Amino acid sequence: MLDHLEEKNSGVVLTVLGPIPTKELGVVLIHETLLSVYPGAEYAPEITIDKSEIFDRLKQQMLDFRRAGGKTIIDNSGMFHGRDIKLYETLSKTTGVHIVASTGLGPELMLSGYFVTPQKNPPTPWSAEQFSALFAKEVTEGIAVPRIERSSSAGIVTSIASQTGITEKETSLFRGSAQAAMATGVPVSVQYGADAVAELEILLGVGIAPGRVIIGGLDRLDAVERKDAFAVARHGAYVALDHVGWATNEGYVNDEQRVQLIVELFNQGLGDRVLISTNAVGVAKGHKAKDISYDYLLTKFVPMLHRAGLTDEQVRILLEENPQRVLTVDASAEQKVTGWNFEWDKLYQPATY
Amino acid sequence: MGKVNTVLGPIPTEDLGITAMHEHIGFGLPGCDLDTQWWKKPEEAFEVTLQKLRRFREHGGKTFVDCTGIGNGRDIEYFQVLSRRTGVNIVAVTGFVAADSALPYFRKQSVEYLTDLFVREITIGIDGTDAKAGAIKVGVSRGGKLNELDKRIYRAAARAALMTGAPIITHLCVDAQTSIDIFNEEGLPLDRVLFGHADDGGYLDENRDNLIADLGGWVGFDTIGYDSEVEGAPYWSRPRQDRVDHFLRFLKKGYLDRAVISADANCCALGWPGLKGHSVNYLFEEFLPDLRKAGVGEEVFQQLLVHTPAKILTMREPVKPKSLSLERVQV
């Protein structure tokens, strides 16, 4: 407990506006998406991408969240699903909401040719080590703004496994994500595929501490039935019940059942491993997204937690202490944030003739 | 004689002149933009590209067909600037280099969607510009056989080729019979298809070359310059003289009027190292001299670089694909 306190006092979290003291995070939504673009949709003539409109819609939802008492949103969309770091910087400045951006890729279906069929013979898909190096640089040197610059650091590494079962390429992604997180001190957050515990073990297999791992999607029907949340928490990893507001017809338990699950986790002494979020998409392009806003959790779900008997302190643990602890950069990690120092020559390779 | 779409608008066929049919301003697999190892200073990339295009002009080159598919570095406004600054006509394509270089959003789409997309890019414009595609790119994914999505893209391309009159240019012609079957099923004459990369070192098959030519298709010797003698040569390279001999055998069989030559070079590669020293100019500086040494005459070059490209690129009269109902075409 003492080291937790110490982390809390001296630690930092990497936001899109730079490192900030952990204690400034306030109430955190640990698993959300700001702009989500199905990879390639930006090239489709039927998709319009109007940044001013996207900005307005995100801004409104973030202000609603802030008004409800929220302070920080984690964008978990990874590096290749619409992430617009410059837009997020402006949004954070405009709304006062802290944003932590993510690096990472997945599931396999969302991977592009560069990672799956590289231009060499044979076209061996990327290894965990290759993914790890790519992701780690987005933490230490900053998020890639394609072919222009590096921006602020990613504060979390994220991935997703296929619900039909984690694939070979996703196993490389998971391992690479965990390696990058371990090397840089940020947490790794995944949505499990079919077997949460086995996939947690894949992550732990690279040597990362369980307390640096978030397993998401554990409020999915099959996971709740298997009591995966308890098993994951007993491993010491974080349990993300990150589909608050979702329901059985979408494959998740409903909010009443979710509340019961949280109560039960606290009763078993696992409350300090639980995270909650809504997996909302602020603006979706090229795909459908559930209609839920960032303020739902605070305005609708938290009152349900209180009615179920959770104390203010327990709610604070869920919304503040747990996410703050897991997001705090492990200062003992080997690779430090150096940032990109705006010497263009260091960023660009010479063109060959 | 007809018209050809370039990034600066349609031009008369007569203005095509010496044409390189399968080239790239810059190609990269989608996702490569996230990896800084490939980032180049824009001013340097621009300069390298301008130099190569200007030298192309000095060799008499007039038209450069950029075969970069959607999401692979195809950058219409950049092509427009390059064309304005060099005087080289640039023809852009719609379509995909192969299914495995298509982005996830397009991988899930139907033949009908893909057909509409290609037709739109040929008749209305690309990426919100009014620059129209002049050809349709399709290709074979890694592994040497058309996969399910490759086939969907080929079928959509065949329909779009009929509806717009634009030609198809393929990346690889391995598994040729499968693609020929699709074109036949859709009723597309094979003289609307340039079967590319017949000279790719990994997929040589001279019987296949003959088959394509006999059926009226165009056979692309269009990876010229990927010589395995060069340091850093990629896996599709082959010994320089082998390619020359392969091409001379093809001519000797009487297929001059089915042959296409091009270099498939990148002016400035995007997501791979490229081949140092390689450019479209290899055609003029290395390949034609090799052919001259073998006694090939200037009239042959004229055929290869002017007359044949004009035949392929000139838009045909649109026809209704037999796969489509009348109602659909009226819409």
Given a cut of 60, is residue A3 above it in pLDDT?
no
Residue A328: DSSP 8-state: S
Element (H, E) at A35: strand A28-37
Given a cut of 70, is residue A353 above it in pLDDT?
no
Q: What is the CATH number of the domain that holds B295?
A: 3.20.20.140
Residues in chain B within 8 Å Cβ distance of A146: 33-34
Q: pLDDT tens for residues A258-295?
A: 999 999 999 999 999 999 999 999 999 999 999 999 99
Q: Give B259-280 as a 3 state SS string.
A: EEECCCCECCCCCCCCCCCCCC
- Provide mean pLDDT across the span A33-61: 98
pLDDT band at A10 (very low <50, low <70, confident <90, very high): confident
- Cβ–Cβ below 8 Å for A137 and B36: yes
Unique residue bearing structure tokens 């993300």: A240
* Half-sphere exposure for B142 (CA within 13 Å, toward CB): 18
Average pLDDT of the residues of chain B: 96
Q: pLDDT tens for residues A164-179?
A: 999 999 999 999 999 9
Cα–Cα distance, A321 to B10 (Å, whole number): 63
Residues in chain B within 8 Å Cβ distance of A352: 48, 269, 273-274, 276
Q: For residue B51, what is the nearest residue in chain A, using CA coordinates?
A: A353
Q: pLDDT tens for residues B136-181?
A: 999 999 999 999 999 999 999 999 999 999 999 999 999 999 999 9
Give the residue, B322 or B217, on which the prediction is more confident: B217
Count of residues in chain A: 353
| C-beta pairs of A64-67 under 8 Å, 24+ apart in sequence | A64/A293, A64/A294, A64/A295, A65/A29, A65/A97, A65/A293, A65/A294, A65/A295, A65/A298, A66/A95, A66/A96, A66/A97, A67/A295
High-pLDDT (> 90) share of chain A, % = 93
Q: For residue B34, what is the nearest residue in chain A, using CA coordinates?
A: A146
Residue A124: DSSP 8-state: P
Given a cut of 60, is residue B185 above it in pLDDT?
yes
pLDDT given at position B325: 54
Q: Which of B56, B62, B147, B138 is nearest to B93 (CA)?
A: B138
pLDDT given at position B1: 65
- Cβ–Cβ below 8 Å for B34 and A146: yes
**Hey, which residues does A349 pair with through a beta bridge?**
B40
Residues 6+ apart with CB under 8 A from B54: B86
Given a cut of 80, is residue B319 above it in pLDDT?
yes
Q: For residue A83, what is the nearest residue in chain B, using CA coordinates?
A: B34
- Provide mean pLDDT across the span A332-349: 86
Residues in chain A within 8 Å Cβ distance of B276: 352-353
Give the residue, B216 or A2, on which the prediction is more confident: B216
Average pLDDT of the residues of chain A: 96
Token duo for residue B41: 């200073």
How do beta strands B259-261 and A28-37 pair? unpaired
Sign of the dihedral defined by the CA atoms of residues B293, B296, B302, B308, in that order? negative
Q: For residue A287, what is the nearest residue in chain B, using CA coordinates?
A: B105
Given a cut of 60, is residue A5 above it in pLDDT?
no
pLDDT given at position A239: 98
Find the helix packing angle between A128-140 and A168-184, rounded to 10°: 40
> Are the C-beta atoms of residues A316 and A20 closer than 8 Å to each other?
no
Given a cut of 80, is residue A244 above it in pLDDT?
yes
Residues of A with CB under 8 A from a CB of B: 38-41, 43-45, 79-80, 109-121, 123, 134, 137, 144, 146-147, 150, 286, 344, 347-353
To the nearest whole Å, the CA of A208 is away from the closest chain B CA by 25
Task: Kindly indicate whether the ipTM for this predicted assembly is greater than 0.85, answering yes or no.
Answer: yes
Token duo for residue A243: 């589909």
- Provide mean pLDDT across the span B97-115: 97
Q: Which residue among A40, A45, A150 sits closest to B103, beta carbon to beta carbon?
A: A40
Q: What topology does CATH give the domain A2-335? A: TIM Barrel (3.20.20)
Q: Where are the alpha helices (DSSP H) in B87-147?
A: 104-107, 111-123
Q: For residue A118, what is the nearest residue in chain B, using CA coordinates?
A: B29
- Provide mean pLDDT across the span B16-21: 98
pLDDT given at position A8: 47
Q: How many domains does chain B have?
A: 1
Q: Give A278-310 as a 3 state SS string.
A: CCCEEEEECCCCCCCCCCHHHHHHHHHHHHCCC
Token duo for residue A143: 């998020």
To the nearest whole Å, the CA of A247 is away from the closest chain B CA by 27
pLDDT given at position A24: 97
Given a cut of 90, is residue A343 above it in pLDDT?
no
For residue B307, what are the domain limits?
Answer: 3-330
Q: pLDDT tens for residues B206-254?
A: 999 999 999 999 999 999 999 999 999 999 999 999 999 999 999 999 9
Q: Please report, to the nearest 10 degrees, the dihedral formed by the alpha carbons of residues A133, A134, A136, A139 taken in order.
A: 160
Q: Which residue among A43, A110, A348 sits closest to B39, beta carbon to beta carbon?
A: A348
pLDDT given at position A40: 98
High-pLDDT (> 90) share of chain B, % = 96
Best B101, B103, B266 member to test A by mutation, with max A CBs in 10 Å, is B103
Sign of the dihedral defined by the CA atoms of residues A159, A162, A163, A167, in that order? negative
Given a cut of 90, is residue A340 above it in pLDDT?
no
Given a cut of 60, is residue B330 above it in pLDDT?
no
DSSP assignment string, A193-258: -S-HHHHHHHHHTTT--GGGEEEE-TTBHHHHHHTHHHHHHHTT-EEEE--TT--GGGTB--HHHH
To the nearest whole Å, the CA of B306 is away from the closest chain A CA by 27
Q: Which of A35, A92, A100, A103 is nearest to A74 (CA)?
A: A100
Q: Calculate the alpha carbon distances from A238 to A165, A217, A253, B93, B264 in Å.
A: 21, 11, 19, 49, 51
